Amino acid sequence: MPALIWLVVAIVSGVAAYVVAWPAWRAYRARDARDTNSERYLAWRGRASPPGASTREGMTGEERRRIYVGAALAVLAVAALVAFFATS
């Protein structure tokens, strides 16, 4: 029976990692794409920023925190999966 518990822990933590981290990653990538599109538009209009200046902000604190929590949950899922295979 303990092997099934490890499998359940692996599945639940894997799903939790996805649910926590994926929206933060999508928000970051969408904002980055919007910034890139606006930079391209300004360059096309002849009003581009200087070559060394970047308008990219990076991740917000909340997004970074969610990515870290998701990564920790993913590590837990992998460890539980290894434990499942070791005990079965």
What three-state secondary structure class fits 48?
Answer: coil
Task: Decide if 53 is inside a domain.
Answer: no
Rounded to whole angstroms, the Cα distance separating 3 from 84 reads 5
Higher pLDDT residue, 22 or 49? 22
pTM metric for this prediction: 0.73
Task: Decide if 52 is inside a domain.
Answer: no
Q: Of the given ranges (9-13, 30-34, 44-48, 60-64), which has the lowest mean pLDDT?
A: 44-48
The predicted structure's pLDDT at residue 14: 97
CB 35 within 8 A of CB 56: yes
Q: The domain containing residue 68 runs over which residues? A: 2-46+58-87
The predicted structure's pLDDT at residue 32: 74
Q: What integer is the mean pLDDT of 34-45?
A: 67
Q: Could you tell me which residues come within 8 angstroms of residue 18 by beta carbon, excluding any fewer than 6 positions away?
A: 70
Task: Decide if 82 is inside a domain.
Answer: yes
Number of domains in the chain: 1
Task: Decide if 8 is inside a domain.
Answer: yes
Task: Decide if 69 is inside a domain.
Answer: yes
Rounded to whole angstroms, the Cα distance separating 26 from 79 reads 26
- DSSP symbol at 85: H
